[in-house]
Structure 1
Amino acid sequence: MKKIIKLQSIGIILFSMLFTMSCSDDNNSPSTSVLNIEEAKLLDFPLFAIEPTGIEIVQPEIVDNKEVTYGEIKITLPSTITSLENISASITSKELNLSKFSISPSNSVNLSFEDGKVHVFTISAATGDQEALLHYNVSIIKEVAPVPETLKITGFTFEKSKNPSLPNDITITKTVEDDGGIDKIYLFVPLGTDFTDLVPTIAYDGTTLYYTQENNLNTNVEFPTVDTSFDLKYPKPLYLTVKDRNGDNVRTTNVIVDVVNPVRIETVSVTSPDATEGTSEYFPGVTKWVNQGNHKINFQKATIYKDISPVITPTTNVITVDRALPSGGLIPGESANVNVRVSQYFPEGTYKTTAVFYTRIYHDFDSDDLFEPVEVTVTANIIK
């Protein structure tokens, strides 16, 4: 009886030991938890020693904790970057949980992104079997260097379609560039054009266009984006100012609209009163010259003479012609005298000459030779 009890005790002890060992093995078994690959997504993609101007991240598509589509990372660098060689990532714990995940290529690997090269970066588990979890196609480009703005008016037209009274499109005849000053453009419309109702079409190289019709150039307002009629009749000016993309630099252009024949002679062929032989005679107001243009004008150069009759050798002007000029120039719509002087040194007879007058806009030397000259033929009789 005692033997049976003893054997039972031994069995109980052995069972207890086996149970204890089994429990101990269960406690030491490896974890079967699965990584959530959503946590492996990159939040940013910094570069070593380079500051991007833009970055676009399209995350990988994940279904049932599995990647089905690679992610895309497109990085834009400043145009001042000279090369896309030897560029490396600078991923830190801010962008990726490095206790759980690793990235390859690593930060220590320099890569070339020249010629549109794309590199695949792989996110893997940091421990265990280190399986690849997510992928990103990474590309790097440079910004296109901004083209310098010349801030010039590149086109100014009065289109017939917008100005029905014009016979055709009117474009720029002359451009004068003045670095550090004010540029000028000249356009010429037909005589009789209504200067109070002109619709311009403007092209310019810059970011923003402003205008003013005041001589104070600080009163600029933004040029209308829709077709707008302007009153350009004297004395109203038109200044256009182009600003650059940063608003730091400006360039101003004076728009000058006129006719090519601003001077009209009331009577183009006149006969002066008779002059007495041996006496110098001056006859004011034998006719008038009229400013039919759109700007204040004055003389461009000295009067020249042609078709002198009779021919005198050496060539001598028996008749000289001059124009009276009001102080400050002749204003549009005004007129002034054309005067004749007959020399005292010639014998009796009939003398004839044609005077040619040249004109410029008042104090505007850039307008020289832009305007058509005008002529007046004068006949004078010298009597005894």
Structure 2
Amino acid sequence: MNVLSSLKVALLYGVFASIVVLASRCSSDDPVENAPDVFWEEARLKDFPLNEVVYLDISIVHPEVVNGVETKAGKIEITIPRSQTSLMLSLKKADLDNNKYNVSPFVGEQKDFSKGAVRYTISATNSPTKVVHYDVNVVYGGAPFFVNAKVTGFAFEKSKNPGLDATIDAVKIMEYDNYSENAIYVIVPEGTDFSKLTPTVTYDAAKLFYTTGSGFDLYPANGTSIDFSYPKHFYLQAENSLGTKSKNYNVIVDIKDPIRFDSPITTANVKTGDGIAVENFFAIATWTNRGNHPITGMSPVQYKDKIYPIPNYPGDANIVTTSIHNPNGGTVGVLPGEKGEINVRVKRSPIAGLFSTTAVFEPTFSFDTRIISYWPVDDRVEGIFGVQTLVIQTTLED
């Protein structure tokens, strides 16, 4: 090899050696801390499932980190259904490597979210100073949740019922314990067309259904025209959000004074007697059922405003008594619009002169039979009607 060739080989060898040394120095001089730190990427909560309820929605904003230091905590907002009444909740799982990261509060630990956001901390197992945080807040969303299933209000609004002079509210909304049906009672003015009324119903329930006897339908928000005339039925059914509880209501519509008397009644003259013998006047007059349900025969609950022909006549003596009667035997009662009969009995008092009394009737409504009669107000017997009075006069003559 000549001198020139030897110089070329030496030069090439030197250049190669320099490159190797330079590469070695560059590799050894690069510090470890300048390498990408995966902690900040891997220490993230990409989801926040709950043990107690499946959430409706979730929003996650990850923490902000500058030069290896958290400058702003992350935020997680979880929307849960209103059916989850308890806010004692816990993280179901965290998709993190348990050998590298700790989560506090730990997975499965219940925390109270009713007081606001709960802070969750993620830290490195080999470097406790390396931490990030998430402030987790839980809110309600979706459809409102109703635990109850009940009707709270019932009315015939004037705006929906042009035949009414004013809005009519229910007089009673009754919930009968230990029975499958409850009742709503509405008193409307005499002359109301029972067959064309549109109710407005308020309720503490998720859904409200109605039926007139052929299956339940969802009750329209603006109501619908209903035929309430006897013997038609109108039922409401309120249901809670879980569909596990419901209440049925039978709506009763009538007037305040269903019994119409043509008062007073004056009997034919009666001969005096021994105070024991009686004179009967059967069907001496009629009365009319002006209401919306059958009315049975009944007797007065008392007699008042008695007038006698002489002073100091025994005040408790009922010389004149009466009862109303259903002339149609075998029927449930005098039907709406029909007439009943009035019977009067007069004791043959030894004292001649004018006797007068006012018979007081207190009709009540039996929910079990849907009949107006007189039963003491009791379980599912309601005193929703007015007091009815009938004045009767008779003259005893020698």
User: Which bin holds the TM-score, normalised by the shorter protein?
Assistant: 0.7 to 0.9
Equivalent position of 1:372 in the other structure: 386
**Which ranges of structure 1 fall in alignment gaps of 5 or more residues?**
none
How far off is 1:161 after superposition? 2.0
Scaled by the length of structure 2, the TM-score of the pair is 0.72
How far off is 1:123 after superposition? 8.2
How far off is 1:292 after superposition? 0.3
1:355 partnered with 2:323: no
Equivalent residue runs for 1:243-258 within 5 Å: 243-258=239-254
Q: CA distance change for structure 1 residues 111 and 272 in 2, over 3 Å: closer, same or farther?
A: closer
How far off is 1:193 after superposition? 0.9
Distance 1:308 1:15 in 2: 147
Cα deviation 1:184-230 (Å, max 9, x = unaligned): 2222111111111112111111111111223x8xx322111223221
Equivalent position of 2:342 in the other structure: 338
Tell me, yes or no, if the aligned pair for 2:301 and 2:360 is still in contact at 8 Å.
yes
1:137 partnered with 2:134: yes
Equivalent residue runs for 1:177-216 within 5 Å: 177-181=175-179, 182-214=181-213
Match of 1:166 among 164, 167, 171: 164
Distance 1:45 1:309 in 2: 90
Partner of 1:161: helix, strand, or coil?
Answer: helix
Distance 2:121 2:394 in 1: 100
Distance 1:103 1:284 in 2: 97
Distance 2:135 2:71 in 1: 17
Tell me, yes or no, if the aligned pair for 1:289 and 1:335 is still in contact at 8 Å.
yes
The letter for the 1-side match of 2:151 is I
Equivalent position of 1:295 in the other structure: 293
Equivalent residue runs for 1:27-66 within 5 Å: 42-45=45-48, 50-51=51-52, 53-54=54-55, 56-60=58-62
Equivalent residue runs for 1:6-85 within 5 Å: 15=14, 18=17, 22=21, 25=24, 42-45=45-48, 50-51=51-52, 53-54=54-55, 56-60=58-62, 71-75=74-78, 79-80=85-86, 82=88
The letter for the 2-side match of 1:268 is S
Cα deviation 1:81-112 (Å, max 9, x = unaligned): 54x7xx78953xxx35789x85776959x897
Q: CA distance change for structure 1 residues 303 and 310 in 2, over 3 Å: closer, same or farther?
A: farther
Tell me, yes or no, if the aligned pair for 1:74 and 1:139 is still in contact at 8 Å.
yes
Equivalent position of 1:281 in the other structure: 279
**Which deviates further from its counterpart, 219-228 or 38-47?**
38-47
How far off is 1:293 after superposition? 0.4
The letter for the 2-side match of 1:25 is S
Equivalent position of 2:231 in the other structure: 235
Equivalent residue runs for 1:298-309 within 5 Å: 298=296, 302-306=300-304, 307-309=306-308
Cα deviation 1:53-104 (Å, max 9, x = unaligned): 4262434499xxx99986532346854354x7xx78953xxx35789x8577
Distance 1:300 1:322 in 2: 6
> What do you get for the CA RMSD once the two structures are aligned?
4.6
**Which deviates further from its counterpart, 276-285 or 228-237?**
276-285
Cα deviation 1:281-312 (Å, max 9, x = unaligned): 21112111111001122367644222232362
Distance 1:173 1:46 in 2: 50
Equivalent pairs counted in the alignment come to: 363
Tell me, yes or no, if the aligned pair for 2:360 and 2:388 is still in contact at 8 Å.
yes
Q: CA distance change for structure 1 residues 209 and 300 in 2, over 3 Å: closer, same or farther?
A: farther
The letter for the 2-side match of 1:316 is A
Tell me, yes or no, if the aligned pair for 1:207 and 1:245 is still in contact at 8 Å.
yes
Distance 2:8 2:211 in 1: 115
Q: Percent of aligned pairs with the same residue?
A: 28
Equivalent position of 1:269 in the other structure: 264
Tell me, yes or no, if the aligned pair for 2:164 and 2:192 is still in contact at 8 Å.
yes
Tell me, yes or no, if the aligned pair for 1:184 and 1:253 is still in contact at 8 Å.
yes
Partner of 1:209: helix, strand, or coil?
Answer: strand
The letter for the 1-side match of 2:58 is E
**Which deviates further from its counterpart, 334-343 or 279-288?**
279-288
**Which deviates further from its counterpart, 26-35 or 276-285?**
26-35
Q: CA distance change for structure 1 residues 13 and 98 in 2, over 3 Å: closer, same or farther?
A: farther
